Structure 1
Amino acid sequence: MTATGGFAAERIVIVGFGPVAARLLEHLEHLVTTGAVAVTVIGQEPEPAYNRVLVADVAVGRTREAAIRLADASALAALGVDVRLGARVTRVDRPFRRVLLDDGGSVDYDRLVLATGSRPVLPRLAGIDDALLPAGVSFLRDLADARALSSAMAADRRIVVLGGGILGIEAALAAAEEGARVTLVHSGRAPLERHLGDGARVLGAALARTGITVTGGASTGITLTDGRFSGLTLEGGLQVEGGALVIACGVRPRTELADGCDLNTAAGILVDHDLRALDTRDIWAIGDCAEVRCWDPSCAGCSGTTVPQGLIGPGWQQADQLGAAFTAELTGALPSAAAGPPDRRDPLLLLKARGVDAVTAGETDADPWSTEPGLDVAVWTDTGHGRYAKMVTRDGVLTGLVCVGMPRTGAELVLLFERGSELPADRSSLLRLDGVEGGAPALRPGPEATLCRCAGITRGAVEASVRAGCTTVQEVSAGTRAGTGCGGCHEDIRAAIEQHYAAAVAP
């Protein structure tokens, strides 16, 4: 294949075919069709890219596998992309610029992009071998895991979820809402204690009210009956019985290919602000596996924590950045605004489920009794109604928040946090948004406010798609990308649709 003018096309190889790789491919499609590049994407799973964040929804039957697809392998192949599914890269041969595959084949590259993502953490449990999980034990990371959990629910087995983080809680809630018997096992005093502080105990009580059995303690091993999971053993000998175990104990960046070819790694593959692997000319990394850290000791962006955030939004921003940079280099066009490195945003942890919600962002461990100049901390707890709020400000500007059981207050605080706004002098005025009597509606942000944090889509863009005829969350997502990330904005999209049509029929 040759580009216009007879020059050989640049060979771009992408290792990994998850959401971030799919986003990068969108930027490269027009380069493929013009012959400027020859792209090969190698995915270890038999399916093309899909939204892993919504795997739990597939497992419990809330949505179909097709609804979370992010790429069409046949369409990409028709454009000229070499799509290889169910293939695994065993080694990167840097001197010869090729990747070696487990079937004995190889693919040469001029530019190599590692988008290998992350792997689930397997805690040390007696009875589980790292190489092969017993029957009835799974993670909740891919579609195969979703199918395993779906089968367990269909057989009416008690589901034991190990892990008190966002993923574990959402999996437990999703299963419980669909009628499964669920036990959530966490370490510490309460689920999400590290992020929510005292608010975690309020969340734990809310989970119990949904019918989930919440159990604290360190796990030591599992029990098998006829080769299948039948119970989880906790420290002290307590047995948690169940017919299926879902392990949700976090993820770690996949760096084994980088380690094997002597790239610089720490928590992730070390890349500079252009996402190029340090000390290389032809290798880049994006997404969960990439850790942005330059060698400049004066760089403010690299002076703090640079560990990959493990969130889909930052990964998509990196794909946009790299796609814009490749396009500019290969076409001679001026780089777009997206070609610059995205700001490292404070992670926003959002939990939304029927009757259970929590949100936290920024600095949340500030001491309410601190005498530090400029620091103010307001805390409010209403255990009777399952509500907790913590607001941290510096010189009046909101720098941290925790909100449990107060969706309207939480939404307003997130808006103020992202804008870097000052809080009203009377902090308690924000609590009235979730008053026991229903309260006033949350202040509606303007069209420029971000509605979908993952994809960076504004409320105005969503409302425009609704005015253009979109009537469902799926239709809005297809047209704008809003809601294709963590799914936390689905209720806001539904609200925008309902508000539009309510206004349309008003007398």
Structure 2
Amino acid sequence: MSHTPSERILIIGFGPVAASLIEGLLPGVSAGQIELTVLGAEPQPAYNRVLLAEVAVGSTRTEHLMLSDLNRLRDAGVHVLCGYTATRVDRARRKVHLATGEPLSYDRLIFATGARAMIPSLHGVNFDPHTEPDLPEGVLALRTLEDALSLQKVLARRGRVLILGGGILGLEAALAMATAGHTPVLIHHGPAPLGRMMDADGGRLLLRQLSEAGVEVHSQVRATGVRLNENGFAALGTETHGEITGDALLISTGVRARTELAAGCGLEVGRGIKTDEYLCADAEHRIFALGDCAEVAGTAPAGLLAPGWAQAGWLANYLLTHRAPRPDRAPEPQSALTPPSPFTASQVLMLKGQGLELTAAGDIDSPLFAEDGRDVMVFADPSRGCYLKLVTRDSVALGFVALGLPRTSAEVVLAFERGAALPEDRSLLLRLDDPGLPEPTAAAADEDTLCRCSGATYGDVAHAVSEGCETVAEVGESCRAGTGCGGCREKIEQMLQRVAIPA
């Protein structure tokens, strides 16, 4: 009787997307079909980077971030190497060389190397875009657990933290610190934070709300370098605002895909490791890439968990059902492969904390009197901190930004994601946030997205609850809802409570 040998699959990277892929491959490991090796550069197994700011401020414990159980994986037969770095891929010999010297052989190779922080050109800071940043003491990027614990020490002694960058991650970190009673200093180069999704009037209101939330904001700053003392970071130098002193500098100016290892072995890279719609990066169907390091079919990495987890689910199924090609045979034609998943993610961005609620999506870069078939509606009530700009065509939302209007934005989000028509009289939407009206009772449809990190729908969560899940954690184990940024936990709790209350 002939025995089919196990297929050696090597995953480089052990973040949230790799953790999901590993879970999907476990049936193949248990059946002896796959010999799985995972290589992670950090000493810890996969953890949720979205919640690092909460660890830094002390509102979440480190163990609550963990996404993988090393003992369970090793008991299942997975070879996990934490704290190991790959230095070179030899595609001809199908080997990955480690910094320690020894090679690892593979039949199939998966790049799940993620992204690193983009470090701006600042005097006194290493800003080489192709290496891991070697930052001075007190300068960090909040991309690793080590960064979060370092920031935690600064905040514990009531240190003054500067945040460089006005994007969504910088604002989330600032609001997390403000919620914990600190006074973070947000520094950015534009007239207002979130410049890519806010217009001028909305930006001014956002600035005011950030100040009311306890965030000190410096706008239109041109940073030039850092000043260090014997303890590390002491001040940020600027051309426009002189020196801004602090005890730590958190850099939040974007991320860049880790592609150097792939480029070094001859794979094509751009905004990420270039793959086809099947996540395949080579002509032999042996090398794949997914998550924040992958440019899939010309689409740049989204920087979100949802598409990465969708890719991991599809790729696990593919690897379980399609063995690596034999050396003496041509790869199976793409047309014969399983149809690829669209790997789409919600375009909606949400920011919430310290009384500030902002939701935005799509394109709002249209003038009030647009002449290209677009209709634009703007509502502002600065005294209540409310602002809405809505761009539509044929009553379908193309883009919007809503500040301080949670019920209105929830309705617009549902319509935006469904492609459904909004009321002809757009002002009717604003009545949803009338303080005198009761909470809306209309339920979302089963196919509507509840968890924007995992892509789990209301129907997925309802099914998990009907199957006996009684806590948010149990729902997360069932369908991943609530395991990302945590913004949907309140909705999950409401669904659990409705089941718990006797009829």
Please, what TM-score do these two structures have when normalized by structure 1?
A: 0.91
* 1:188 alignment counterpart: 190
Q: Secondary structure at the match of 1:214?
A: strand
* Contact map agreement 2:292 2:301 (CA 8 A) in 1: yes
Q: Distance in 2 between matches of 1:321 and 1:339?
A: 10
3-state DSSP of counterpart to 1:112: strand
2:90 aligned residue = 93
Select between 124-133 and 267-276 the one with higher mean Cα deviation: 124-133
CA distance in 1, matches of 2:187, 2:432: 33
For residue 259 of structure 1, the aligned residue among 237, 259, 263 is 263
The 1:372–1:127 alpha-carbon spacing in structure 2 relative to 1, beyond 3 Å, is: same
Q: 2:218 aligns with which of 183, 191, 215?
A: 215
Note closer, same or farther for the CA distance 1:471–1:345 as it changes in structure 2 (3 Å cut): closer
Equivalent residue, structure 1, for 2:130: none
CA distance in 1, matches of 2:270, 2:342: 21
What's the counterpart of residue 311 of structure 1? 304
User: Equivalent residues in 2 for 1:24-103 (5 A)?
Assistant: 24-103=21-100
Per-residue displacement from partner, 1:159-194 (whole Å, max 9, x unpaired)? 111111111001011111111121111110111021
Contact 1:381 1:387 in 2 (8 A): yes
Please list the CA deviations of residues 175-224 of structure 1 after superposition, one character each: whole Å capped at 9, or x if unmatched. Answer: 11111121111110111021122322222211110111011112111122
2:136 maps to 1:134: yes
Per the TM alignment, residue 140 of structure 1 is displaced from its structure 2 partner at its CA by 0.8
Aligned to 2:342: 342
1:75-133 Cα deviation digits (max 9, x unpaired): 11111111000000001111111100000011011100000000001111112234521
1:367 Cα deviation from its structure 2 partner:
2.3
The one-letter code matched in structure 2 to 1:412 is E
1:228: Cα distance to partner? 1.3
Q: Which amino acid in 2 is paired with 1:327?
A: L
1:73-472 aligned within 5 A: 73-130=70-127, 132-198=134-200, 199-216=202-219, 217-293=221-297, 302=298, 306-330=299-323, 340-345=340-345, 347-373=347-373, 375-437=374-436, 440-441=439-440, 443-466=442-465, 470-472=469-471
**Is the counterpart of residue 476 in structure 1 residue 478 in structure 2?**
no
State the match for 1:494 in structure 2: 493
| Separation in structure 1 between the aligned mates of residue 437 and residue 207 of structure 2, nearest angstrom | 23
User: Residues 386, 33 of structure 1: CA spacing in aligned structure 2 closer, same or farther, 3 A cutoff?
Assistant: same
Which amino acid in the other structure matches residue 408 of structure 1? R
In 2, distance between residues paired with 1:456 and 1:344? 9
Q: Deviations over 1:294-335 (max 9, x none)?
A: xxxxxxxx5xxx21111111111111111111122149xxx9
**Residues paired across the two proteins, number:** 486
AA matched with 1:342: P
Q: What amino acid maps onto 1:313 in structure 2?
A: A
Give the distance between the partners of 1:442 and 1:365, measured in 2 at CA.
33
Deviations 1:377-423 (A, max 9, x none): 11111111111112121112122121111111111111111111000
For the 8 Å contact 1:221–1:234, the answer to whether it is kept is yes
| CA RMSD, 1 decimal | 2.2
Partner Cα separation in structure 1 for residue 466 and residue 310 of structure 2: 27
User: d(CA) in 2 for partners of 1:442 and 1:229?
Assistant: 52
Query: Partner of 2:9: helix, strand, or coil?
Result: strand
TM-score, normalised with respect to structure 2:
0.92
SS in structure 1 of the partner of residue 59 of structure 2: coil
Stretch moving more, 276-285 or 142-151: 276-285
SS in 2 for 1:398: strand
What secondary structure is seen at the aligned counterpart in 2 of 1:477?
A: helix
What stretches of structure 1 of length at least 5 have no aligned partner? Answer: 294-301
| SS of equivalent to 1:409 | helix
Map 1:8-27 → 2, pairs under 5 A: 8-27=5-24
In the alignment, the residues of structure 2 paired with residue 464 and residue 321 of structure 1 have an alpha-carbon distance, to the nearest angstrom, of: 21
Unaligned runs of 5+ residues in structure 2 are 128-132, 325-334
Paired with 1:457 and 1:386, the residues of 2 have a C-alpha distance of: 31
CA distance in 1, matches of 2:2, 2:177: 58
Provide the secondary structure at the position in 2 that maps to 1:13: strand
1:54 deviates by 1.1
For the residue of structure 2 that corresponds to 1:452, the secondary structure is coil
Could you say what secondary structure the match of 1:352 adopts? strand
Cα deviation, 1:3-61, whole Å, max 9, x if unaligned, reads x9422211100000001111111111010111111111100000011111111111111
Map of 1:299 onto structure 2? none
SS in 2 for 1:190: coil
Aligned-residue offset at 1:68: 1.6
Once the two structures are superposed, what CA deviation does each residue of 1:264-302 show, in whole Å capped at 9, x if it has no partner? 111111000110004343110000011012xxxxxxxx5
**CA distance in 1: counterparts of 2:437 and 2:145, whole angstroms:** 40
CA contact (8 A) 1:324 1:339 kept: no
CA distance in 1, matches of 2:118, 2:437: 41
1:245 Cα shift?
1.1
CA distance in structure 2 between the aligned counterparts of 1:436 and 1:69, rounded to whole angstroms? 40
Offset of 1:348 from its aligned partner?
A: 2.0
For 1:158 and 1:242, how far apart are their aligned partners in 2? 5
CA distance in 1, matches of 2:214, 2:338: 46
Give the secondary-structure state (helix, strand or coil) at the position aligned to 1:432: helix
Check conservation: 2:345, 2:455, Cα contact below 8 A.
no
Distance 2:232 2:71 in 1: 38
Q: Secondary structure at the match of 1:12?
A: strand
Identical counterparts, % of pairs:
45
Alpha-carbon distance between aligned partners in 2 of 1:466 and 1:355, rounded to the nearest angstrom = 30
